[in-house]
Amino acid sequence: MTVGNPYESWVERFVSALHDGAAIGAAKMKPRTASSNGGGAPKALVFAPHPDDEVITGALSLRLLRERGFAVTDVAVTLGSRVERRSGRWRELQAACGYVGFGLVNPDRTGLEGINLAARARDPARWALAVEAVADVLTDERPGVVFLPHAEDWNTTHVGVHHLVVESMQSLPTLACLVVETEYWRAMATPNLMIESSAGDLADLVAALSQHVGEISRNAYHLRLPGWMMDNVRRGAELVGGQGTDAPSFAFATLYRLRGWSEGQFHDVLEKGRFIAAGDSLDTVFPGHGRA
């Protein structure tokens, strides 16, 4: 121990917390059903590139479900590139979505194939079928809010899903909704929304993420989700609030870019970036959506 350094034991507790989390393993949790989400509930669709993305970026969608009465549905765009793991990943995804109360649909029985820009150029006919499949989901669900990765989220499938969903929305000229872009592999240059998660909400996201057993066995990223959310507060203070802005006193947050969609294109809905604390009403950025 460094003599006289009061932070050393503080840092060591972070290491201990990681070890303690690893000892928990996949949480054995009962599925939850959001009883408030009846047939007339507003809908949010989360277009997840892979099973687990629905949870990693799920801070806002979970709050929409719990606080605004949304019916949140994960659209499992792909089930990953490893064919032998797809049935297992689907079962894990069912467990994760069931625990937090998300619905689940798959635009293709085994997940869509070739959802990346190289495949779009190489096989435009297959890509067109994927666009049609996603457009069918949008038409059937008629969402008020759509979640999708931002266009530069590094991972080729994340980038592909962004373009796939945007092209599908463009094919539906009467579609009007709010669009929330998410980030994970590469930070957005211009997020405009920082959403705080309570400790309870974050614990539920970690528990849900732990259901993706095959993925966390190779990379225990569920245990690092709190650290990622803490760093989002550091970055988001100035990326969302403006250079030189004081950071809010959030412990955990996720960054998003919120825009509107109508007449086949994006449009701005926020005059400036917003910080939404765990105790704040989401009605300030989602007016008229969900219950008051």
| CATH number for position 126 | 3.40.50.10320
pLDDT at 1: 59
pLDDT at 33 over 70: no
pLDDT at 34 over 60: no
| Arithmetic mean of pLDDT over the chain | 94
Q: How far apart are CA 286 and CA 199, in angstroms?
A: 23
Number of folded domains that form the chain: 1
pLDDT at 28: 76
pLDDT at 173 over 90: yes
pLDDT at 54 over 80: yes
pLDDT at 220 over 90: yes
Kindly state whether residue 92 falls inside one of the protein's structural domains.
yes
Kindly state whether residue 165 falls inside one of the protein's structural domains.
yes
- As a whole number, mean pLDDT of residues 155-182 equals 98
Kindly state whether residue 288 falls inside one of the protein's structural domains.
no
Kindly state whether residue 290 falls inside one of the protein's structural domains.
no
pLDDT at 266: 98
- As a whole number, mean pLDDT of residues 230-244 equals 98
Kindly state whether residue 36 falls inside one of the protein's structural domains.
yes
CB 102 within 8 A of CB 73: yes
Predicted confidence band of residue 289 (pLDDT cuts 50, 70, 90)? low
Tokens of 73: 């549905």
pLDDT at 2: 66
CB 156 within 8 A of CB 116: yes
Percent of the chain with pLDDT over 90: 88
Better-predicted residue by pLDDT, 288 or 103: 103
Kindly state whether residue 4 falls inside one of the protein's structural domains.
no
Q: For residue 197, what are the domain limits?
A: 17-278
- Buried (b) or exposed (e) across 12-47, using 16+ Cβ within 10 A? eeeeeeeeebeeeebbebeeeebeebeeebbbbbbb
3-state secondary structure of 270: coil
Kindly state whether residue 213 falls inside one of the protein's structural domains.
yes
Find tokens 């892979």 and name the residue: 50
3-state secondary structure of 7: helix
pLDDT at 120 over 80: yes
Kindly state whether residue 30 falls inside one of the protein's structural domains.
yes
